[in-house]
Amino acid sequence: MYKISLAFIFTLISFASIAQPQPTLQQKLQSNIPINSQFQTLLNQSRNQDAYFKIIRKSNVEIIQRNVADSLSRYTKEIASLKSSTSTSTQQIQSLQDSVQTLSADLAVERAKTDSISFLGMDFSKSAYHTLVWSIITVLGLAFFIVLISFRKAKVDAVEHQKTAEELQGELQTFKKKALETEQKLKRQLLDEQMKRDS
């Protein structure tokens, strides 16, 4: 009884495996399978006429034809999309290059502005401006030093002239006194002489 049931179970399993649906040619020729595999399946499923020919069903050829057309359409769309994205990328690259050139020009202008200084309506480079400013400072310092020395010399000269003037004025006063005394003496003598003559 046990042997019979085992044989029965093996028979059922073998029938079940035979009864499992095998994929049809149409399922094997789906459009999501690569074209080369589809052609290989088609050749494997075709009957040999002789060594040089194979008999292929028209329906299978039509399936392959539809799949190839679908693939070509899909690839054409992908190519168009890639061309469009490439064109967009090229435009973006060109736009970015133009922006870079504009920014480079603006940067050069800003560098020129920062490297130059406007002084008295003229543009100087920073080094020339610093040289000019230090030259002016040096000239003004020298002029101040010369004026200071001249002022001190003039002050010393003025003090000396004042002393000389005071000395001359003292001498003049002394001379005037002497001259007045001499004049008075002469007048007395003249009066004395006149009195002598009159008497």
| Residues 138, 102 share a domain | no
Measure the CA–CA gap between 168 and 158, rounded to whole angstroms.
Answer: 15
Judged by DSSP in three states, 123 sits in strand
- Model confidence at 198: pLDDT above 70: yes
Q: Which residue has the tokens 């005037």?
A: 176
- Name, in order, each residue with C-beta under 8 angstroms of 55's C-beta and a sequence gap of 6 or more: 46, 47, 48, 49
DSSP string, 44-74: HHSEESSSS-EE--HHHHHHHHHHHHHHHHH
| Residues 132, 109 share a domain | no
| Residues 98, 34 share a domain | yes
| 141-190 residue pLDDT tens | 999 999 999 999 988 888 888 888 888 888 889 998 888 889 888 888 88
Domain carrying residue 37: 21-117
| Residues 144, 112 share a domain | no
- Kindly report whether the global pTM for this prediction surpasses the value 0.75: no
